Structure 1
Amino acid sequence: MAAAGSGVLPLYQRYINGVPVPPGRKTFRLREKYIIVLVLMTFSIVFMCAYLYLPNMQDRVSVEDMRKRLQDAGDGLFYPKLQGVHNDHAVLSDTDPHNIEDKNKLKDKIEKAWEKDKMEEALVKKMNIPQKEAELLKDHIKQDKESVLQKQKEEERQRKTEELEKAKLISKDHEGHPGSRGGEPSDPFVKTKREKVKEMMLHAWNGYVKYGWGANEHRSISLRPHSGSVFGSASLGASIVDSLDTLYIMELDEEYKKARDWVAQHLSFDVSSDLSVFETNIRFVGGLLSAYALTGDQMFKKKAQIVADKLLPAFNTPTGLPYAIVNFKSGSSRNYGWASGGSSILSEIGTLHLEFDYLSTVTGEPVYREKVMKIRDFLQHADKPNGLYPNYINPRSGKWGQQHVSLGALGDSFYEYLIKEWLMSNKKDTVARQMYDEAMKAVYEKMLQTSKSGLVYFAEYKSGRLQHKMDHLACFTAGMIGIGAEGSEDKEKYLQLGEDLAHTCHESYIRTATGLGPESFRFEGMTEAKAVSQNEKYYILRPEVVEGWFYMWRLTKKQKYRDWAWEMVQALETNCRVVGGYSGIKDVYQKHPLQDDVQQSFFLAETLKYLYLIFSEDDLLPFDKWVFNTEAHPLPVTGVNPAAIAQ
């Protein structure tokens, strides 16, 4: 056992020839001196390295202060009493073993970090370096850190660019596609709002990826795929295709790559299903062609052509007017059983031109343009009662069905595509412009109304009588009339009419408890811009109102349109945001409305895109280079946008 000596090191009993020798030595041996010197040198090197390479602890929050704050939080930090999530649609269990395991791991990491910080503080305190030299060292270390971080950022940018090129996000021709990205506002407040919309898109997208991937849509509350949509039970990834251009425009590159890869590897229309010609065209053909126009990725063009070819059998009628539904396996076609006299629907046969015309341009195949030109020619020369286009027409006889005219459901996008055909042709398609002007002249004369309080709206015309009802869908007319003002006989008059309609639709929003507008609203007696029956009070994440505000913002630059759009963002967050994304609501007049548990694909394609664009600069998708189809998929203007050239 070691003896208690009086020297620096303990003195041990020594023996010479078996005889004990008293411990009288007062100095170290040479070997012991070497050991002491080595130890001191080691500590000196460790201290110097620690000072030079450990982070500056003075810039950090005090470890003890942080420890105290965390300890004050108590066990609730790691094992909180969890309450129900928003709207009571999901409740997390405080006894879930997975939650507890995650919290234990977090606690271990924090405790290890405390110990490490303690050691670092102790080493810094022992470094007895003059203050001036210490400050210089800190500056050098800070500069080195910034240099390293900058280098890492450059390497990350390079890696991302290489990945984008590899994934064909950036094509050789992409430089010729103006205004497909960018538009960052200089105003920091506007930029913050745009970033909020981008975060909403991420939340909606991530919910779909997690709970509905590959399905057309998903249920954002019950967290499962949704198959009861306009595409029936076929899982065609409608939300993926509808989101392609929105993800790309918002520069969400990882999400876009995931969507692009799914389309390339899994999108297939070899299904035995009856599909809507109209919905398949505006969402799939339009979405794929828009992605092609924005990126130059040939894969999208090929896929769009495959889908369009599946739709062609629907056009095999005596008039060339297509049926509403086509079976993708057999090619058999038919109309909806509920449509008047087996008729096709005006909005559906009139909302094919933009996509089919552009598809012929980029593929060199004339068949698509020929199909839609035949529709136009027939409608142009058909007799129109009172100059109006009824919502129903028989594809076999060419006769009009029920005398019902509307700028909302069943009629809406027919008028929209007439003016947009003119714009997309770089204002050279004079037939489209003439048909638009003549159709709208009759609509203004027969259907444009002003309420007792001065609200302007479009009533519906049915069998010679007006129904003083306006659909949420009809609120797109604010934008349509706005962009049609250019080239009209009285630009200021029609621009003001667009503003008046945008105002009316805003009134339908602010007269509810939720700040979101109903599916339809009426002007009857004392009722103005409000829904009457229960089946008119729902909101399913529709875009038409903010679409009108977006066009009016671009055309007038009046701040109120951005203000209204921001109010809509807040209303969506309050009433529609749920665990798995966003949900429609069943009654906009209730303060805490029930939700319908469906995230519509057009919410990602249209509503969020228009909100993002209204908070962007005009050089993002400028009107003189791009035209939006009725699903908000941008297509290029002929002659001024290189994306409109076959490649």
Structure 2
Amino acid sequence: MFPPRNYSASCFLLSLLLLSTFTLSLSQSHSAAKKKRMREKVRQMFYHAYDNYMTHAFPHDELKPLTKSFTDSLSELGNLKLEHLPRDYSGSALTLIESLSSLVIMGNNTEFERAVLWLSENLTFDVDARINLFECNIRVLGGLVSAHLLASDPSKKLFQGAYNNQLLVLAEDLGKRFLPAFNTPTGLPYAWINLKYGVMENETTETSTSGCGSLILEMGALSKLTGDPRYESAALRALRKLWSMQSSLKLFGTTLDVATGQWIEYSSGIGAGVDSFYEYLLKAHILFGKEDFWRMFHSSYIAVQKYFRHGPWYHEADMRTGRATYWQLTSLQAFWPGLQVLMGDIFAANSSHREFFHVWKRFGVLPERYLLDHQMLHPTEKYYPLRPELAESTFYLYQATKDPWYIEVGESIVNSLNLYTKVEGGFASVKDVTTMQLEDHQHSFFLAETCKYLYLLFDDSFMLGSNYIFTTEGHPLPVLNTWHEELPEAYIPTNWTIMKRQAAANRVSAMSLQECPAMTLNSGQHIESCCHISDARSDHRCLTDEDCGVDATTCRRRSCSMAGYCGLWIFI
């Protein structure tokens, strides 16, 4: 394009500038309108699920949307014959507890206050019910502790009247009922415990790595809030015992015996049975500021990248030898890119996220298990129970890069959920992704996580001015100076959770430009990849260049030196 002969260069440049500004303004306006439209779609999804639960299932645990009835899933998991449930048992209002922080994030203070008052007057844990410690911890204790912190935050103004710590009273009562589970020779907790009577006679001693290693956030927060160190101490003792059981390759198995401290299943990965263990090491470091948690996570992350990673995928491997065991994608693995964002390895996060989304697009939702070596669905695990992990990672990646491509991903997820899983009575799980046959279950985590992360993707105003980490069940916990021995520098208020909106508005797609996403962080900080280890370090050895991967902050390939350490390839 050239200016006319009688057109001055300055006027021509000015016209180009005005045109560019006008085009950018239109683009920003279109993006804002889309996010607002999608936010309202997610809000409608949440209330369709919530209102049906309150109408047809409350105060029982979860909604059965096809029959518009209920299930007391929290206790039924451990009481398949229901022999230990009182005749008048009406559940634990599980979905209501899980919805508390989502109500706050969506701005419904009135319903939040009404829910808190009902729980404080009606909920009791003094019931003869055998429950799973891990599930009850992340769902019920986590939901209560998070909602208490929100309710007691004066800046939120969630209560018209006075809030008298009712939720904390309930959380402390539940925490005390957890403690007998830790009375084992190893300090590793039983997987199952009776809320009224403690550990049952002849209780199984088998548990998972996640079950032992994913308690520190909720129980640690409970200790901080009550001043009672027993909860944090019990969770920390279990975590340290688990850490001592790592193999020489710094890997962990999937299942173990709490009485003997011996591994039962040696194959491991980043999916079911182990996933939240890795997640809580990093998040505990952020929440409590202890360097021990960071060192543990850093060591574990390097081992995962070395022995489980295969390009953008993560297979499973034997913790003793590092040899691959199962080449499969599981839907729970989709949380991993979000965790990678938290510690700065955004290039790797982006790579894996795209593969998960590719599978989502292929089937319409994300199947529970997909066999990578055969490029086919697992024959018996074809279901999709409304899991949140892909939405969670999409939210984190958008926060870190402001790449509008992730908004498109979120829109696709929302449309799929409405197309395939929405029914008159709520949202139903998919029993078979090949036929989209539905199952009569609306899990509480659909409201606690799936809807929450999708809403935050399109409207992150809840996080502005505050730092939060989200538990593995999606419950926000504020990062507080008073909980830290020393607040990590990366998490004082210039971190990724507090984005400059005006800077984000000018962002173009890092993916379309093939730029390194880590270089487009709005904070302006130089965040180093956790996986980037200089030659001066002696705690990571490599055999080939493939072991070293790509540096997240420069997008340069890293090579394995003759001495066996990772360093950057330098390009002039």
Tell me the TM-score normalised to structure 2 length. 0.72
> 1:228: how far off?
4.5
Cα distance in 2 between the residues matched to 1:501 and 1:416: 16
Structure 1 residue matching 2:67: 3-state secondary structure = coil
2:47 is aligned to 202
2:356 is aligned to 505
- Are 1:460 and 1:470, in contact at CA under 8 Å, matched by a contact in 2? no
1:329 is aligned to 196
> 1:393: how far off?
2.3
1:219 is aligned to 64
What amino acid sits opposite 2:196 in the alignment? K
- Are 2:469 and 2:478, in contact at CA under 8 Å, matched by a contact in 1? yes
1:101 is aligned to none
> 1:231: how far off?
4.5
Picking from 138, 161, 168, the partner of 1:282 is 138
Is it true that 1:448 corresponds to 2:315 in the alignment?
A: no
1:155 is aligned to none
Structure 2 residue matching 1:465: 3-state secondary structure = coil
- Are 1:323 and 1:395, in contact at CA under 8 Å, matched by a contact in 2? yes
> 1:257: how far off?
3.1
Cα distance in 1 between the residues matched to 2:66 and 2:208: 34
Q: Report 1:89-104 matches (<5 A).
A: none
Is it true that 1:267 corresponds to 2:123 in the alignment?
A: yes
Structure 2 residue matching 1:511: 3-state secondary structure = helix
Structure 2 residue matching 1:331: 3-state secondary structure = coil
Structure 2 residue matching 1:524: 3-state secondary structure = coil
Is it true that 1:311 corresponds to 2:178 in the alignment?
A: yes
- Are 1:326 and 1:334, in contact at CA under 8 Å, matched by a contact in 2? no
2:473 is aligned to 631
What amino acid sits opposite 2:198 in the alignment? G
Is it true that 1:596 corresponds to 2:442 in the alignment?
A: no
Cα distance in 2 between the residues matched to 1:250 and 1:211: 22
Q: Report 1:380-529 matches (<5 A).
A: 380-425=243-288, 428-450=289-311, 456-462=312-318, 464-485=323-344, 494-512=345-363, 515-525=364-374, 527=375
Cα deviation digits, residues 403-444 of structure 1 (max 9, x gap) = 12121111100000000011112xx31111111111121111
> 1:262: how far off?
2.2
Cα distance in 2 between the residues matched to 1:624 and 1:431: 25
Bigger shift: residues 371-380 or 310-319? 371-380
Picking from 200, 207, 214, the partner of 1:344 is 207
Larger helix proportion, structure 1 or 2? 1
- Are 1:216 and 1:231, in contact at CA under 8 Å, matched by a contact in 2? no
Cα distance in 2 between the residues matched to 1:335 and 1:458: 37
Cα distance in 1 between the residues matched to 2:198 and 2:464: 39
- Are 1:448 and 1:457, in contact at CA under 8 Å, matched by a contact in 2? yes
> 1:569: how far off?
0.7
Cα deviation digits, residues 143-170 of structure 1 (max 9, x gap) = xxxxxxxxxxxxxxxxxxxxxxxxxxxx
- Distance of aligned partners of 1:607 and 1:629 in 2 relative to their CA distance in 1, 3 Å threshold: same
- Are 2:212 and 2:239, in contact at CA under 8 Å, matched by a contact in 1? no
Larger gyration radius, structure 1 or structure 2: 1
Cα distance in 1 between the residues matched to 2:467 and 2:223: 19
Cα distance in 1 between the residues matched to 2:422 and 2:468: 31
Cα distance in 2 between the residues matched to 1:641 and 1:366: 13
1:121 is aligned to none
1:13 is aligned to none
Cα distance in 2 between the residues matched to 1:574 and 1:374: 46
> 1:330: how far off?
1.3
Picking from 620, 628, 633, the partner of 2:462 is 620
Cα distance in 1 between the residues matched to 2:382 and 2:463: 34
Cα distance in 2 between the residues matched to 1:469 and 1:634: 31
> 1:511: how far off?
0.8
- Are 2:206 and 2:255, in contact at CA under 8 Å, matched by a contact in 1? yes
- Are 1:324 and 1:336, in contact at CA under 8 Å, matched by a contact in 2? no
What amino acid sits opposite 1:199 in the alignment? Q
Structure 2 residue matching 1:586: 3-state secondary structure = strand
- Distance of aligned partners of 1:383 and 1:587 in 2 relative to their CA distance in 1, 3 Å threshold: closer
Percent identical across equivalent pairs?
A: 31
Cα distance in 2 between the residues matched to 1:503 and 1:195: 26
- Are 1:447 and 1:466, in contact at CA under 8 Å, matched by a contact in 2? no
What amino acid sits opposite 1:543 in the alignment? P
What amino acid sits opposite 1:508 in the alignment? V
> Please, which runs of 5 or more residues in structure 2 have no aligned partner?
1-29, 83-88, 153-162, 485-572
Cα deviation digits, residues 166-207 of structure 1 (max 9, x gap) = xxxxxxxxxxxxxxxxxxx99232112111111111111110
> 1:225: how far off?
1.1
What amino acid sits opposite 2:293 in the alignment? A
2:377 is aligned to 531
Cα distance in 1 between the residues matched to 2:431 and 2:203: 26
- Distance of aligned partners of 1:640 and 1:574 in 2 relative to their CA distance in 1, 3 Å threshold: farther
Is it true that 1:300 corresponds to 2:167 in the alignment?
A: yes
What amino acid sits opposite 2:224 in the alignment? T
What amino acid sits opposite 2:470 in the alignment? F
Structure 2 residue matching 1:344: 3-state secondary structure = strand
What amino acid sits opposite 1:441 in the alignment? I
Cα deviation digits, residues 341-396 of structure 1 (max 9, x gap) = x4321001111000111111111111111112212322333352422011122222
- Are 1:625 and 1:641, in contact at CA under 8 Å, matched by a contact in 2? no
Is it true that 1:608 corresponds to 2:451 in the alignment?
A: yes
What amino acid sits opposite 1:482 in the alignment? V
Structure 1 residue matching 2:193: 3-state secondary structure = strand
> 1:522: how far off?
2.1
1:585 is aligned to 430
Cα deviation digits, residues 539-598 of structure 1 (max 9, x gap) = 1100011111111111111111111111111111111111111101122233xx221011
- Distance of aligned partners of 1:293 and 1:641 in 2 relative to their CA distance in 1, 3 Å threshold: farther
Structure 2 residue matching 1:467: 3-state secondary structure = coil
Cα distance in 2 between the residues matched to 1:281 and 1:386: 30
Cα distance in 2 between the residues matched to 1:194 and 1:225: 28
- Distance of aligned partners of 1:465 and 1:623 in 2 relative to their CA distance in 1, 3 Å threshold: farther
Q: Cα RMSD (Å) of the superposition? A: 2.1
> Please, which runs of 5 or more residues in structure 1 have no aligned partner?
1-184, 451-455, 486-493, 643-647
- Are 2:38 and 2:458, in contact at CA under 8 Å, matched by a contact in 1? yes
> 1:622: how far off?
5.2
Tell me the TM-score normalised to structure 1 length. 0.64
What amino acid sits opposite 1:506 in the alignment? F
- Distance of aligned partners of 1:469 and 1:600 in 2 relative to their CA distance in 1, 3 Å threshold: same
Cα distance in 2 between the residues matched to 1:632 and 1:597: 23
Cα deviation digits, residues 207-265 of structure 1 (max 9, x gap) = 00110011100111101112355654661111010011101211123432332222111
Give the number of equivalent residue pairs: 430
- Are 1:323 and 1:335, in contact at CA under 8 Å, matched by a contact in 2? no
1:113 is aligned to none
- Are 1:231 and 1:276, in contact at CA under 8 Å, matched by a contact in 2? no
Cα distance in 1 between the residues matched to 2:254 and 2:201: 17
